Amino acid sequence: MLRSHTCGELRLTDVNTEVTLAGWVQRVRNKGGLIWVDLRDRYGVTQLIFEEGSTDKSLLEKAASLGREFVIQSSGKVIERTSKNDKIPTGAIEIKAETLEVLNAAKVPPFIIEDETDGGDELRMKYRYLDLRRNVVREKLQLRHRMMQETRKYMDAQDFIEVETPVLIKSTPEGARDFVVPSRVNPGEFYALPQSPQTFKQLLMVSGFDRYFQIVKCFRDEDLRADRQPEFTQIDCEMSFVTQEDILNTFEGLVRHLFTNVKEVQLGEVERMTFADAMKYYGNDKPDLRFDMKFVELNDVAQGKGFSIFDQAELVVAICATGAGEYTRKQIDALTEWVKRPQIGAKGLVYVKCNEDGTYKSSVDKFYNQDDLKAWAQKTEAKAGDLILVLSGDAKSTRKQMSELRLKMGEDLGLKDRNVFKPLWVMDFPLLEWDDETQRFHAMHHPFTSPKTEDIPLLETDPGAVRANAYDLVINGVEIGGGSIRIHDRPTQQLMFKHLGFTEEEAQKQFGFLMEAFEYGAPPHGGIAFGFDRFCAIFGGSDSIRDYIAFPKNNSGRDVMIDSPSTIADEQLKELSIQIAAKKE
């Protein structure tokens, strides 16, 4: 070993010990006859001291020539520091250096490699191997490591078997575009990279494995944002001979295990809510329950008073922002402009201030008297000092707009505490959702989700009303995982494909292997998949998943460090029987 100790382990109890350390130069402080060098590795920072008189002159000159990020090895004696640094674990000691060897010199790094850096996102991604030297980034990957280990520990204790599934598979419709890989030995044919191991984990249940899990890479060619990457990691799980309740209890156990052992947080009750209620009261299927502000419908007390905007609306809906009654006209105008942005799409915003003297001030005072506004306040349970915000229009878009406004108010009022965790199971999703573009129904989750038995007759008469045996786990407004009880017999699976618009030939070509497997004794089964990167970001208190991935892509799906994707040689294209289409002018 080139070192006897790491840069993070020496303490006062090691004084007078002869040690050898190796690592990167964090910084050099040169006072002429006295030089301090902060030496860093993954484990911490230790200070080296080179002092004129007790240090050889050539050694002092060598220390003075060191630059940031030089890789060095140094030996010496551990001594007690006269001026201690209580901000680092090794701050009570330093090394009186006796030798110094430069193992590798370094160019001046393009940004400061410290917790507070001067490097922008794109620059740090280009030099990701340098960014990974920073404590704040490395700690996020260490958190990821711990979560992986604790996941495996819990799953093993629950008798799950970790099984690897193929990465080169068949292209199947799962909601996003596939990444495809050409086959050299089968010209004109392609593999696809898996969007999830869905069919394989179901086949493992047919195989009798009973309990499967995998921490697995998945790939989706879709538009990117802070919580999406073209390649991401799932905790993928499946169980046989289980009901929905069994799955919820098992994986609620995993979530509690991770919070207890990684975050040292004891979760409270994991609430349950139907999809219908989530949409009715929060306007989306992943409500943030760290704060209240439930939607309250005002149609019965707001319509019929001569205010045509409300009278013509399918839905008039309000939220009560507790304590926001002191908002100025300027603040309310800014909110109005915010909801009118194209991304939100509201036509306007109505407000009611609940004054401390029991009166009400509203932007629609012309149409509503104090008794009318008092009725609004009673319905929304607004008290003196609160602010009622109201939107109206067609039900679907108005709920979506109010959802965005609710989340903004939660942020503006400081209600999104990153140290508070509110998990929620959202259940009873619609099996199918209508797509206006293709003019047909699509599976809300995937084609293998089972409908609720009592709703199967509705497939013929009212497909949009059919509920699925599906469930999502939401934490603080972020979907962490989702799953379902699966279809496990051929007739039901064929019926599902029919209602998704597959011809018998298309269904057979794409999923014939699975339907045939169902004819060889497939057990009832179900499962769930957690977005592991998102899980890590929740634990780390971040909005973006990028820092929890060692080498992430940017918003264009590019790895700017290795400059990928990139063109390949004509010879390779020829070998793969691929011709690049000419770009349109």
Is the peptide bond prior to 565 cis by the omega test (within 30 degrees of 0)?
yes
Shortest CA distance to 198 belongs to which of 177, 212, 209? 212
Amino acid at 158: Q
**122 assigned ligand-binding residue:** no
Q: How far apart are the first and last CA of the chain?
A: 60
pLDDT of residue 446: 86
**531 known ligand binder:** yes
pLDDT at 313: 97
Q: In 3D, which of 461, 445, 556, 554 has the Cα closest to residue 499? A: 461
CA distance 3 to 490: 63
184 among annotated binding-site residues? no
Q: Does residue 174 have a known ligand-binding role?
A: yes
Question: Is 406 annotated as ligand-binding?
Answer: no
Per-residue H/E/C for 480-521: EEEEEEECCCHHHHHHHHHHCCCCHHHHHHHHHHHHHHHCCC
The total of other beta-carbon atoms located within 10 Å of residue 334's CB is 12
Is 543 annotated for ligand binding?
Answer: no
CA distance 506 to 346: 42
Q: Is 139 labeled as ligand-binding? A: no
Q: Where are the beta strands (DSSP E) in 399-457?
A: 423-427, 432-435, 440-443
- The annotation status of 229 as a binding-site residue, yes or no, is yes
Spatial contact of 15 and 28, defined as CB atoms under 8 Å apart:
no
Residue 479 among known ligand-binding residues: yes
Which residues of the chain register pLDDT less than 70? 173-175, 226, 584-585
Alpha-carbon distances, residue 100 vs 39, 200, 205, 300 (angstroms): 12, 56, 60, 82
Is 150 annotated as a binding-site member? Answer: no
Q: How far apart, in whole angstroms, are the C-alpha atoms of residue 354 and residue 356?
A: 7
- Measure the CA–CA gap between 380 and 319, rounded to whole angstroms: 7
Is 343 assigned a ligand-binding role in the annotation?
A: no
* pLDDT, position 532: 98
Task: Determine the pLDDT at residue 501.
Answer: 83
Q: What was the pLDDT predicted at 470? A: 96
Question: Is residue 220 marked as binding?
Answer: yes
∠ CA 508-468-163, rounded to 5°: 60
